[in-house]
Structure 1
């Protein structure tokens, strides 16, 4: 339980945080080397699997949190999330339930329609979502990562290595990739469900 006094007038529950250059080229290369030995699987959605292809089309791998090769990566993400959370939302964050997801969207219509990362069951505990861009913007067309906040749709930065941190209740999507391949890493930090 967090006993510090929080000035909730300082919380920005409808805003997001990003880091432009938080990973070096060597670290990005290290991520690619880690994922090479892991098999791809078809991405799924938690509900309504009958419409999977229209909702989501991508391939994923899981970079396990108990892997010694990945410890530095989890530590780095935890540091970035802690900084963003302290500055913006003041959520009580307690654990990482899911492993890091390495996601590939290809030019065969790869996309992920509008959704929230917050949901039922174990997904009810998700509080903060993190996504990191692993592709150079010139390597693909389409594949925009977008938020819908209120009625406003915002395209987010595409720079390779940039990290975007946001509340898991944000509506977001990846638009269809028209050319090339878009790669990203995704992680969720959890806590007690919102009340």
Structure 2
């Protein structure tokens, strides 16, 4: 499923992220350094150096936002999160052609393999600040072009064919990362997401014996489908 989580970052956090990414000493490198074999010829962007202090500070900011978001935790059921990376599209470095993310990626800190059950794009530039630069999702018989407000997060299955269309004006800043979920199946995660959203609505009306029983059913399903 494709799921938009609005306002993952606060306006102040978005402003802080942009200031650091646009600072004159921000260590941008060729984005092809992190591309897999099938994607390297199609990737044309800039990426913030992973081992820089700037990147580590921004990673902490994004991870903090993820950990405080009930919607993200409910949708992703994260087991492992690849430390967020940051990219920049403008000028001649302006696109990333259609590709599918690698099934497994290796995180430097902490040093671990992460299965890419979910791909995540966190938009950091306002839509009106650039033309083009949509995240194009290729589905059977259709294409969806997505451009979200700064601070919004898009989650989509890691085996989705997707691309970033050419930026023809302005500059597109974003964070991207992957999640290994406690529940590997996209369909099962969707069922649990729908179940949990309904439970949240019911709890807002007051706890009842029926709500408690349904909560128990949710956790039985999670035990059945989940894995460390």
TM-score by length of 2: 0.64
Counterpart of 1:176?
166
Structure 1 residues 166 and 79, CA, compared in 2 at 3 Å: closer, same or farther? farther
Counterpart of 2:132?
142
Counterpart of 1:56?
43
Structure 2: 5+ residue runs without aligned partners? 107-112, 186-228
How far apart in 1 are the matches of 2:16 and 2:50? 12
Richer in helix (by share): 2
Higher RCO, 1 or 2 (CA under 8 Å, sep at least 6)? 1
Residue 29 of structure 2 is aligned with which of 27, 41, 48?
41
Aligned pairs, number: 173
How far apart in 2 are the matches of 1:170 and 1:78? 25
TM-score by length of 1: 0.73
Preserved CA contact (<8 Å) 2:127 2:148: yes
* SS in structure 1 of the partner of residue 155 of structure 2: strand
Residue 78 of structure 2 is aligned with which of 93, 101, 107?
93
CA RMSD, 1 decimal: 3.0
Preserved CA contact (<8 Å) 1:127 1:189: yes
Counterpart of 1:119?
103
Counterpart of 2:66?
77
Residue 87 of structure 2 is aligned with which of 96, 100, 103?
103
* Structure with max Cα Rg: 2
Preserved CA contact (<8 Å) 2:36 2:102: no
